[in-house]
Amino acid sequence: MADEDENEGPVVELGEETPVEGQPLARVASRLTWPHEKPRILEQEGDSVIRTASGPQTLSDVLEQVDDSYFDTRQTFIDAVESAIDTAPVETK
């Protein structure tokens, strides 16, 4: 039987927790099934707040800037949303 200490792995200090408002776009996209139309996305996830470099925004506000109304894959949706928002790293305080 293996020693329990071997399975734990190294302990890594992550520093102070800095909360970031909103959730990653990928998390919102993972809750949907594909293909999907914009009105159905707004109905299901429009109130979700996503992280952007300029601060948290609701998905409905971001999707107003997207011309596409049909997303055949998850990646198509992510690409369209990312083209409407700044994809720079999210600043922490």
pLDDT tens-digit series, residues 19-44:
678 899 999 999 999 999 999 999 99
CA dist., res. 50 & res. 26, Å (int): 9
Query: What pLDDT is recorded for position 77?
Result: 95
Residue-wise pLDDT tens digits, 47-70:
999 988 888 999 999 999 999 999
- Positive or negative: CA dihedral 46, 50, 54, 57: positive
pLDDT at 89 over 60: yes
Domain boundaries, the chain: 21-84
pLDDT at 14 over 60: no
CA dist., res. 41 & res. 66, Å (int): 13
Tell me the pLDDT band of 17, cut-offs 50, 70 and 90: low
